[in-house]
Amino acid sequence: MSPRSPQTLVTQRAGFAFCLRFGLYTLLGFLVLYALQEPVVNPFTRLIATLAHVALRTLGAHSWVSGASVGIPGFAVEIKNNCNAIYEIGLYASAVVAYPATVRQRALGLLIGGSLLYLVNLIRVLTLIALGRYWPEGF
């Protein structure tokens, strides 16, 4: 067996520490989100439906929104808890917070990454509505 260099041990230790922090932050984050279902997760889900409605109206569609449901004539979706991207954002946030970076870098990463994940989910909802309306046999 060849002896390990001190640099290799430091790198492995840092990687292990990151994995440990990431796992802990993920567990804590999901527990917090689960505990805050009514005051945080449900309004977050309704906001996606409202933003989808606003986007559809802006694009000229005759859309409606009711709670976490949004639709256009001929098709509607109800955004469920696991389709709202909040857990994906929480997982991403756990990785960012666990990563060895400055507070400023972490904050910027959370803001940009979380916003992008939210935007991609909104686009996904809009795409599902369009596909459901114009390609119903795809469902």
Under 8 Å between Cβ of 98 and 18? yes
Amino acid letter for position 125: V
Per the domain annotation, does 14 fall within a domain?
A: yes
pLDDT of residue 1: 46
pLDDT of residue 8: 75
Which portions of the chain are predicted below pLDDT 70?
Answer: 1-4, 6, 9-10
The helix (H) or strand (E) run that includes residue 77 is: strand 75-78
Domain count, the chain: 1
Provide the domain limits for residue 22: 6-138
Q: Cα-flanking dihedrals φ and ψ of residue 85, to 5°?
A: 70, 5
Q: Residue 108: CB partners within 8 Å, gap ≥ 6?
A: none
Per the domain annotation, does 1 fall within a domain?
A: no
pLDDT of residue 109: 97
pLDDT of residue 14: 87
Per the domain annotation, does 133 fall within a domain?
A: yes
Per the domain annotation, does 81 fall within a domain?
A: yes
- pTM for the model: 0.86
Under 8 Å between Cβ of 72 and 129? yes
DSSP letter assigned to residue 136: G
The CB density around residue 118, as the number of other CB atoms within 10 Å, is 19
Q: To 5 degrees, how large is the angle CA 45–CA 58–CA 113?
A: 45
Under 8 Å between Cβ of 113 and 92? yes
Per the domain annotation, does 130 fall within a domain?
A: yes
Per the domain annotation, does 104 fall within a domain?
A: yes
Per the domain annotation, does 63 fall within a domain?
A: yes
CA dist list (Å): 83 to 31, 119, 122: 18, 13, 10
Bridge-partner residues for 66, per DSSP?
69
